[in-house]
Chain A
């Protein structure tokens, strides 16, 4: 491994990203089975998605619609006429031993996505977005690696077989230099935001709705040729995308600097150790024997339909960011941090649920970002919704809890104890502003600290802090500090001028 910075002094990285998006259509790509996640193994199946002899596919029109909308949102051209193709290879979780996909006639092609990285815009060119079906899911039992080799036996669940996928492939991204890991991460993040805004997928990386393959190669600095690439498969979080790129840059650099050749292969990403390991060797000669799927007729979306779908697109992401920044009154730095943390959508939803922009930003980027970081998960994976965050802020605004207590409410919500109000109730976190209880505590504090009380009577109002602290301690922090101060001054006959 070569140090990352050193590697980039010697080499230029070229990135390529292939993102698979599982669509949220009600039914599968080529049959009427439910496309819902989960379910008892092998219950969402029929002759077609099991590939039984004699079965035939029928294209899901809704999936074509989603594919076109994704293509349009990525500024792609939409094919006037395109076909499905068979990608032939043997694997036990592929019911037909070919995947019905698209080959040289993708539904969408030649687009781009402008990606913000630390205030700079990178244009990521999209080569194509095409439709295909997912495979079944294998579980390898026994052995140590969880992979097929060494396993005692394997179980296959075909519920996932035939779920519609859109594969989005970038052109090689060059010129990102030291920012390559950040560009990769930002691309996947912003692509996910776009997919969510389109409403075509749940886009949950942890559930595999959105899966990224990271291709990377290095070329000697200044060279205009691309080096040999590795394909790191199924990198399933934003953070891992960034880490995997960093890792592969260091790994390739060490190999090349030693005068060796990078092997063209697929690699597995290990989330826990942060490294990649060799998968199957893959050369361009790997032969899938593609040919047009003879059981399906071509897909030929009318220009009118495509224009109708264009009318359903959400706001352009770059324009939207500018609009939100203005609306929220964020500084450039605040906006950049929000986008960089993958919190834009979360902050937006929190504000929509009633929180003030700065409060929404503060919770997501400090308190919650810290917790996500500790757990090594994405912000969006935390067990809290923007509506819940907004409600906690409302409790603060209403004076029911203070910032310190609010953190305990976050603890409770994240621990699955229920809605914020329920957590306040169950944990007894509400601030006491009831004068009866406070008054008694203030009396106790005055009695326990006669010399301090004397100073205050004498006009040293600043000394009140010590008494407030004593009251808060007695009330275990659940007192309205402002009201405590008022009571102390009232009782000791001191005014603030």
Chain B
């Protein structure tokens, strides 16, 4: 294994700046690593070696001229397949978009390119980001690098698996109910869901527009901050994007890494611990909270009584928006087109029906039906309307909790990675994975998941939540936890991961 792929993005950026390596060299190293391990992991749906190397060459030329497009110029990255990319397919893990190459870049993708980051490829995901295991991808599941029999979380299992398998130093994910944080937790990586509106959604194929947010998927907190700084900030193409400067997330990560949390008030959310959480997960959480106290933080217990309704509200709002968003996949303009069998000269409606039947998987159909029902006249008030009221109450719970604490903490996911297929036939059990992550999406507040250790040999995540626009706080606390724990472990948690079977690559 090339030493380069083990390094953090910040280290790679420094090595590039020192002339110790070139972007072409480290891009090639990652492409080799992908070729070696991705047969087993299946983190990628599409790899663009040619495009990545071309961008790497440009980066090296830029550096040779003494110029730099960003702090991460030349460091390669993987992109979740829900973000549009010129020159690369964007399938959202769905058959219905197989082979679709968008004519435009998502704003975040454009910012990566402008920052000089070679794009390695597109990562696997649950179809249209619907799932917590990446098993709902139409192109087959991604495997957890810690145990190939297990799920890498979802929906962004591909991005999390790519960074934890050292097949990318950085990746972009999207988080609607936990799709960045829960995969980070179960793969021992770092994932951040920024404040809603903090990062442009233009070019993010929407599942639920009022909940979706793009964010960094990395191995270190500082890397996440560097990526956040690059892609964040106002975008005139996204009306919901916030027209304010990005908080100083890099500075906050560096400050947190000193390990000093004196003066910080940490709230443990009563409703997000205890019952329903795997014993080992709870144990790692409690230990981490103890570390925060050691670092000087004041820990209090806070109650968010309406969080118990968060999952129910989420599973009304999200499918409602999704049912409308997914209506455009009708075979009329792009993507899959299926003509019904045995129908001569089928009508537009018949082609739409046949295409949607063949092109969408079961989980997508389930949510379209749920959402269509929830929005129907006569049911709207009882379902969608009521869910929005709960959403308001959850925001109020957060507001009250943030009166008592600067940040809130919880385990990221109730369990460690489960086996592939284990919950596939039990949607409700699958939905419970996002219990602790969903409230942040409903309220639009930022959250991070950092590794908290292992339970039965599998990674556990520690979640930190902060008030909207105070993204810097999650980086500060996340970095403090990282520093304390890696000191205790004698290195990153991922060093404890078993070696992956590799395919010999001819060079």
Question: Is the CB–CB distance between B210 and A53 below 8 Å?
Answer: no
Interface residues in B431-454 by Cβ distance below 8 A to A read none
Given A88-B327, A289-B324, A47-B103 contact (CB < 8 Å): yes
Q: A59 contacts which chain B residues (CB < 8 A)?
A: 239
**A97 proximal to B (CB < 8 A):** yes
Is B239 touching A56 in the complex (CB atoms < 8 A)?
yes
Q: Which of A54, A88, A90, A289 is within 8 Å of B83, CB to CB?
A: A54
Mark out the residues of chain A between 284 and 341 whose CB falls within 8 Å of any chain B CB in the assembled complex: 285, 287, 289-291, 294-297
Residues of A within 8 A of B202 (CB): 54-56
Q: Which residue of B lies closest to A58 (CB)?
A: B239
Are A54's CB and B205's CB within 8 A? Answer: yes
A95 contact from B333, B375, B384, Cβ within 8 A: B333
Binary flags per residue of A398-441, CB closer than 8 Å to B gives 1, else 0: 00000000000000000000000000000000000000000000
Cβ of B203 within 8 Å of any chain A Cβ, yes or no, is: yes
Q: Give complex CA distance A360, B84 in Å.
A: 61
CB interface residues, B 305-351, toward A, < 8 Å: 320-321, 323-324, 327-330, 332-334, 347-349
Partner of A148, one of B100, B103, B348: B348
A97-B327, A287-B377, A291-B384 known; A58+B237 contact, CB < 8 A: yes
Q: Are B375 and A291 in contact (CB under 8 A)?
A: yes
A156 at interface (Cβ–Cβ under 8 A)?
Answer: yes
A393 to B210, CA, bound (A): 63
Q: A53-B92, A56-B202, A289-B377 are contacts. A297–B84 as well, Cβ < 8 Å?
A: no
User: Chain A residues near B489 (CB, 8 Å)?
Assistant: none
Residue among A154, A285, A295 facing the most chain B CB atoms (10 A cut-off): A295
Mask, A85-96, CB within 8 Å of B = 1, is: 010101010011
Q: A56 near B238 (CB under 8 angstroms)?
A: yes
- Asked whether B380 is an interface residue with its Cβ less than 8 Å from the other chain, the reply is yes
> Nearest Cβ distance between residue A52 and chain B, in whole angstroms?
7
Question: Given A54-B83, A98-B324, A291-B375, A90 and B240 touching (CB < 8 A)?
Answer: no
Whether B377 and A285, one on each chain, are in contact in the complex, defined by CB atoms closer than 8 angstroms, is yes
Q: Is the interface of B mostly helix, strand, loop or mixed?
A: loop
Number of residue pairs spanning A and B whose beta carbons lie under 8 angstroms apart? 103
Q: Does A357 contact B (CB under 8 A)?
A: no
CA distance A285 to B239 in the complex (A): 33
B374 to chain A, nearest CB (A): 9
Q: Which of A53, A95, A287, A295 contacts B102 (CB 8 A)?
A: A53
| A88-B327, A98-B324 known; A52+B206 contact, CB < 8 A | no
Task: Give which listed residue, B83, B204, B380, contacts A291 with CB less than 8 A.
Answer: B380
Tell me the B52-109 residues at the A interface (CB within 8 Å). Answer: 83-84, 90, 92, 97, 100, 102-104, 106
A220 contacts chain B at the CB level, 8 A cutoff: no
Inter-chain contacts of B92 with A (CB < 8 A)? 53
B486 within 8 A of A: no
- Is A297's CB under 8 angstroms from B240's CB? yes
Q: State whether the Cβ of B352 lies closer than 8 Å to any Cβ in chain A.
A: yes
Give the shortest distance, in Å, between B208 (CB) and chain A (any CB).
8
How far, in whole Å, are A297 and B196 apart by their CA atoms in the complex? 13
| Interface pair A57/B239, CB less than 8 Å apart | yes
Q: Which of B84, B332, B333, B380: most chain A CB closer than 10 A?
A: B332
Question: Quick check: B334 and A92 within 8 Å, CB to CB?
Answer: no
B103 touches A52 (CB 8 A): yes
- Residue in A51, A98, A285, A289 with the greatest tally of chain B CB atoms within 10 Å: A289
**What residues of chain A lie closer than 8 Å to B352, measured between beta carbons?**
90
Query: Across the two chains, which residue of chain A brings its CB closest to B351?
Result: A92
Asked if B239 and A295 make an inter-chain contact with CB atoms under 8 angstroms apart, the answer reads yes
* Contact indicator B236/A58 (Cβ below 8 Å): yes
B-contact 0/1 string along A369-407, CB 8 Å cutoff: 000000000000000000000000000000000000000
Chain B, Cβ-Cβ closest to A156: B332
Interface residues of A in 121-155 (CB under 8 A from B): 148, 154
Q: Cβ of B97: which chain A residues have Cβ within 8 Å of it?
A: 53
With A and B bound together, what is the CA distance between A290 and B324 in angstroms? 10
- Using CB atoms, name the residue of chain A closest to B348: A92
Given contacts A52-B334, A148-B348, contact A295 B377 (CB under 8 A): no
| Contact of B236 with A90 in the complex, beta carbons under 8 Å | no
A158 smallest CB distance to B (angstroms) = 9
B372 within 8 A of A: yes
Interface residues of B in 379-421 (CB under 8 A from A): 380, 384
Cα A156 to Cα B333 in complex, Å, equals 10
Write out the residue numbers on chain B whose beta carbons fall within 8 Å of the beta carbon of A53. Answer: 84, 90, 92, 97, 100, 102, 205, 328-329
A50 contacts the other chain (CB 8 A): yes
B209 within 8 A of A: yes
A88 interface neighbour in B236, B324, B384, Cβ under 8 Å: B324
Nearest chain A CB to B268's CB is how many angstroms away? 32
In the assembled complex, the Cα of A253 lies from the Cα of B330 at a distance in Å of 42
Report if A96-B327 is in contact (Cβ < 8 Å); known contacts: A47-B104, A53-B90, A54-B206: yes
A478, B261: Cα distance in complex, Å:
103
Give Cα A90 to B368, complex, Å: 14
Whether A289 touches B209, Cβ cut-off 8 Å, given contacts A52-B103, A55-B202, A58-B239, is: no
A86 and B236 in contact, given A53-B90, A54-B106 (Cβ under 8 angstroms): no
Task: Write the chain B residue with the least CB distance to A293.
Answer: B209
B376 at the A interface (CB under 8 A): yes
> Is B284 on the interface with A (CB-CB < 8 A)?
no
Closest partner residue, chain B, to A295 (CB atom):
B209
Q: List 25 A-B contacts (CB under 8 A).
A: A47-B103, A47-B104, A52-B103, A52-B334, A53-B97, A53-B205, A54-B203, A56-B202, A56-B238, A59-B239, A88-B323, A90-B327, A95-B333, A97-B327, A97-B328, A287-B377, A289-B323, A289-B377, A291-B320, A291-B321, A291-B384, A294-B210, A295-B209, A295-B238, A297-B239
Which residues from chain A sit less than 8 Å from chain B, CB to CB? 47, 50-59, 86, 88, 90, 92, 95-98, 148, 154, 156, 285, 287, 289-291, 294-297
For the complex with contacts A52-B334, A53-B205, 11 further pairs of A-B residues with Cβ separation under 8 Å are A52-B103, A53-B102, A54-B104, A54-B202, A54-B203, A58-B236, A96-B327, A97-B327, A148-B347, A287-B377, A291-B324
Q: Which 9 A-B pairs have the closest CB atoms?
A: A97-B327, A289-B375, A294-B209, A294-B210, A53-B205, A54-B203, A54-B84, A54-B205, A96-B328
